[in-house]
Amino acid sequence: MGPSEFQLPSVEQFESLVGAETVDRILHKAERLSDLHVVHINSTFYGGGVAEILSPLTVLMNSLGIRTGWRIIQGRPDFFSITKKMHNALQGEEINLSEQKKRIYEEVVFENAARMHLDHDIVIVHDPQPLPLIRHFRKNSPWIWRCHVDLSRPNPDLWGYLASFVEGYDAVILSLPEYAQNISVPQRFIMPAINPFSTTNKELSKAEIQDRLDHHDIPTDQPLVVQVSRFDKWKDPHGVIDAFRLARREIDATLVLLGNVATDDPEGQQIFESLCACGEERIRILSAPDSALVNALQRQATVVLQKSLREGFGLTVTEAMWKGTPVIGGNVGGIRHQIADGVNGFLVDSVEQAAERIVQLIKNPELGGKLGRAARETVRERFLLTRLIEEQLDLIGAFEPSFRLADPGS
């Protein structure tokens, strides 16, 4: 790149958070791989955790000297309607997998392949939308399928179909060992991470927080209970409202449900509209593409909820924990690995349990402070972007010339 008034973020920025030794180790590992050309492929630049991860990850890899690109497949609404059904079925729902749906899915991916022109040393394909790309390239390098969803109980029909594409890859990355599938491709497990310097996560002054909340007319006269999530049924927004209504019998508080709609998620708008019908003076339902508002709400909240019913890994959980805010998370998927119940947050299995924990945290700010401090430390140790970068460097450095993935530790 030529000279610019802007500067790429650098791994050195993380030194005060993760230590000089970690930074040096990453620089050293990156240097050894600096002749590689890597590409990530997914289906949206905006909305949802994958885009939130790829955005800083790809930039930081470039600042480490590894040429890393990011491509996005295009599709008509019918394509994304099918891939959203697949997403839901991967998380356990039924699907009517007709020949017509398969044809649209495969045809749109084929058209994307035709205009993609890949000539990279490592190709990393994210989630089911672009998965069949592998069928259309002469493979000159390792291809990795990185699946972010909660694969603890995928619909068998759908998995049977998708596995035929997955088998073409050289490695699969999942967020957790319990998502492992019965396939011949080597599987590795890497949990996502957050960028502490992004608009969503950077430090904010009290005045900056207040300014954002005022801008969206969010009252701060009572404690805030917040859930930030794509409008998606797996995030259980109606369960959040029910839990809040139960809690309100015992405490005063305002609930804010902030969401957005990803460009590859056609169900969001309908869910948003169904929630708006539940709005009332103390229940605010907001749809706003405003990362600074996410940041302000996670900081101002007395309690953050992430009452998901399935969650591959909840970035929003880690984001709130980083801000020292106690999180009540659904006892599912990745959240179980992010929150240690009663140590750095709470895990809940029902609306009633969520309500009890809301009441407890609002009545007992000291408990919230203690859990929040432990939460921030958990994130510093395990969930910052540097850990993800290092695991990714280790993985791409582990391919042998035959594209075989060396065993971990060998």
| Site membership for ligand UDP, residue 261 (CB under 6 A) | no
- The SS3 of residue 108 is helix
Q: Taking Cα atoms as reference points, which of 55, 59, 65, 100 lies closest to residue 79? A: 100
Smallest separation, CB 206 to ligand UDP (Å): 21
Please identify, using beta-carbon distances, which residue of 22 and 198 lies nearer to ligand UDP: 198
Examine residue 10 and tell whether it contacts ligand UDP (CB under 6 A). no
259 binds ligand UDP (CB under 6 A): yes
In the 8-state DSSP scheme, what is residue 152? S
Nearest-approach distance from CB 258 to ligand UDP, in angstroms: 5
**For ligand UDP, which is the closer residue by CB, 143 or 313?**
313
- Contact with ligand UDP (CB under 6 A): which of 171, 247, 294, 358? 294
Task: Tell me how many residues contact ligand UDP (CB under 6 A).
Answer: 16
Contacts of 142 (CB under 8 A, 6+ apart): 122, 123, 170, 171, 396, 399, 403, 405
Q: How far is the CB of 8 from ligand UDP (least distance, A)?
A: 21
42 three-state secondary structure: strand
Is 388 a binder of ligand UDP (CB under 6 A)? no
Instruction: List binders of ligand UDP among 218-247 (CB under 6 A).
Output: 228-230
- Give the one residue of 112, 155, 200, 300 binding ligand UDP; rule: CB under 6 A: 200
Measure CA 162 to chain center: 22
Helix H or strand E segment including 103? helix 99-114
| Contact track, ligand UDP, 19-48, x by CB under 6 A | -----------------------------x
Q: Which residues contact 250 (CB under 8 A, 6 or more apart)?
A: 359
What is residue 178's DSSP assignment?
G
Residues 321, 376 contacting (CB under 8 angstroms): yes
- Please identify which residue in the block is written with the tokens 């998995």: 159
With binding defined as CB under 6 A, does residue 49 bind ligand UDP? Answer: yes
Smallest distance from ligand UDP to CB 200, Å: 5
Cα–Cα distances in angstroms (integers) from residue 69 to residues 40, 41, 326, in the given order = 6, 8, 36
Residue 319 binds to ligand UDP (criterion: CB under 6 A): yes
Q: How far is Cα of residue 163 from the mean position of the Cα atoms in its chain?
A: 23
Shortest distance, position 316 Cβ to ligand UDP, whole Å? 4
314 binds ligand UDP (CB under 6 A): yes
Q: Is 61 in the site for ligand UDP (CB under 6 A)?
A: no
User: Strands (DSSP E) along 275-378, which ranges?
Assistant: 283-287, 303-306, 327-330, 346-348
Applying CB under 6 A, which of residues 129, 260, 360, 386 lies at the interface with ligand UDP? 260
Interaction site with ligand UDP (CB under 6 A): 48-49, 52, 200, 228-230, 258-260, 291, 294, 314-316, 319
